[in-house]
A and B are shown apart, each in its own frame.
Chain A
Amino acid sequence: MTYVVTENCIKCKYTDCVSVCPVDCFYEGENMLVIHPDECIDCGVCEPECPADAIKPDSETELEPWLKLNAEFSKKWPVIVDQKDPPTDADEWLDKPSKLAWLSDAPARE
């Protein structure tokens, strides 16, 4: 089992999760974070920290596509170990439906 980052992270990217992860298993894309499923130790600390409620245990049903997406992008994006400021319009995107269309597959810019 692992935890996975889901749709509501897209364009919000608050990064509260990053500051509490004991194994630094978050990877950063241009507008979303993902969890490396092989590095996540399943501690669950990040889940309640996410202001967007975007982190879920993969035991929840229908998360298979998100698990795949987390696995794929965590191999391509750089690791993120410190919390940073969210995008200035993060709050406007919070809870908007169908954000997957806005997902960028580009890695975070330095």
Chain B
Amino acid sequence: MNTHQTLKIIDNLPDGELVTSVKHWTNRLFSFRIERPISLRFRSGEFVMIGLPGDNGKPLYRAYSIASPSWDEELEFYSIKIQDGPLTSKLQNIKIGDRVLLRPKPTGTLVLDALIPGNRLFMFATGTGIAPFASLIRDPETYEKFAEVILTHTCRNIAELKYGKVLVESLADDPLIGELIDGKLKYYPTITQENFKTKGRITNLLSNGQLFSDLCIKEMSAESDRAMICGSMGLNNDMRKILEARGLSEGANSRPAEYVLEKAFVG
């Protein structure tokens, strides 16, 4: 047996990591934190496979963006609840002291390394797609690399914005990055199915320029701006067209460029 096979077998028999907190935001959304193994290193914005033992005894894993920053002693996740979802139907019932399985290989393209240097960083999220950005906006490196960070978050209902809103509002008082942020982070929530000050899909608000006029910032350009996208397949496809039309090209870890998007995201 070679080392690789040994690793795979060990990996299939984990104890799991202790759940340290759970918060239900709506009847469809919750976040939770688990202990972080000392050996688990990751870059802010990456995702990892987490899971629970399945009914047949085999572990059931799904890809989850890590919502906490790389310096955090715990790992935070932000999840949707799907009643007949194989994993989330069970995951939504976890409590403090339960264990969540964690595979040891974080990865992903929503990382600062996959972008070439720029002046402003735009983060476009829909729904639970805000998770990787919840990590990145808490990472000092984000503000060291970019002069301005614009986080947009689009949800169907106002209640679904709360996780992101509470997080953003808490950053000003954060002892580690409160001073670093100091006006550098702009938060732009939008709502599609209820009346709200900024109503509509982010693709429309971006295309018609309202995003820029609302925030009193200049239009996007490939020369100075970088972007990260995390949302539904529809958002990915539409944003890709909009950004490419503005001259931005897709980057990767091995080939940094002007924008990156997360294909692993579903929900």
CB <8 Å contact, A48 and B255: yes
Return the contact of A78 from the options B2, B107, B253 (Cβ within 8 A).
B2
Distance A110 CA – B58 CA, assembled complex (angstroms): 30
Whether A105 sits at the interface, judged by CB under 8 Å, is no
CB <8 Å contact, A22 and B255: no
Q: Quick one: given A22-B48, A23-B103, A44-B264, are A49 and B253 in contact (CB under 8 Å)?
A: yes
Whether B197 sits at the interface, judged by CB under 8 Å, is no
CB <8 Å contact, B107 and A22: yes
Residue of B nearest to A21 (CB): B107
Provide the A13-28 mask, 1 if CB < 8 A to any CB of B, else 0.
0001000111110000
Whether A106 sits at the interface, judged by CB under 8 Å, is no
Provide the B24-67 mask, 1 if CB < 8 A to any CB of A, else 0.
00000000000000000000000111000000000001110000
Chain B residues near A81 (CB, 8 Å)? 4, 7
Distance to closest chain A CB from B137 (angstroms): 22
Distance A51 CA – B2 CA, assembled complex (angstroms): 28
CB <8 Å contact, B253 and A22: no
Provide the A54-82 mask, 1 if CB < 8 A to any CB of B, else 0.
00000000000000000000000011110
Residue of B nearest to A48 (CB): B252
Residue of A nearest to B264 (CB): A43
Distance A2 CA – B66 CA, assembled complex (angstroms): 23
What is the size, in residues, of chain B's interface with A at 8 Å between Cβ atoms? 25
Chain A residues near B8 (CB, 8 Å)? 24, 79
Chain A residues near B74 (CB, 8 Å)? none
Distance A83 CA – B105 CA, assembled complex (angstroms): 14
Q: Quick one: given A22-B63, A24-B105, A81-B4, are A47 and B263 in contact (CB under 8 Å)?
A: yes
Chain B residues near A45 (CB, 8 Å)? 107-109, 263-264
Whether B17 sits at the interface, judged by CB under 8 Å, is no
Name the residue in B5, B251, B264 with the highest tally of chain A Cβ atoms < 10 Å from its Cβ. Answer: B264
CB <8 Å contact, B263 and A23: no
Q: Which residues from 189 to 235 on chain B have a C-beta closer than 8 Å to any C-beta of chain A?
A: none
Distance to closest chain B CB from A44 (angstroms): 3
Distance to closest chain A CB from B6 (angstroms): 11
Whether A38 sits at the interface, judged by CB under 8 Å, is no
Distance to closest chain A CB from B1 (angstroms): 11
Whether B106 sits at the interface, judged by CB under 8 Å, is yes
Distance to closest chain A CB from B107 (angstroms): 5
Chain A residues near B107 (CB, 8 Å)? 20-22, 43, 45
Distance A32 CA – B62 CA, assembled complex (angstroms): 28
Distance to closest chain A CB from B258 (angstroms): 13
Distance A11 CA – B168 CA, assembled complex (angstroms): 49
Distance to closest chain A CB from B148 (angstroms): 26
Chain B residues near A44 (CB, 8 Å)? 263-264
Q: A22-B49, A42-B264, A43-B63 are in contact. List 18 more A-B contacts (CB 8 A).
A: A16-B253, A20-B253, A21-B105, A22-B47, A22-B48, A22-B105, A23-B105, A41-B264, A45-B107, A45-B109, A45-B264, A48-B250, A48-B254, A78-B4, A79-B4, A79-B5, A81-B7, A110-B2
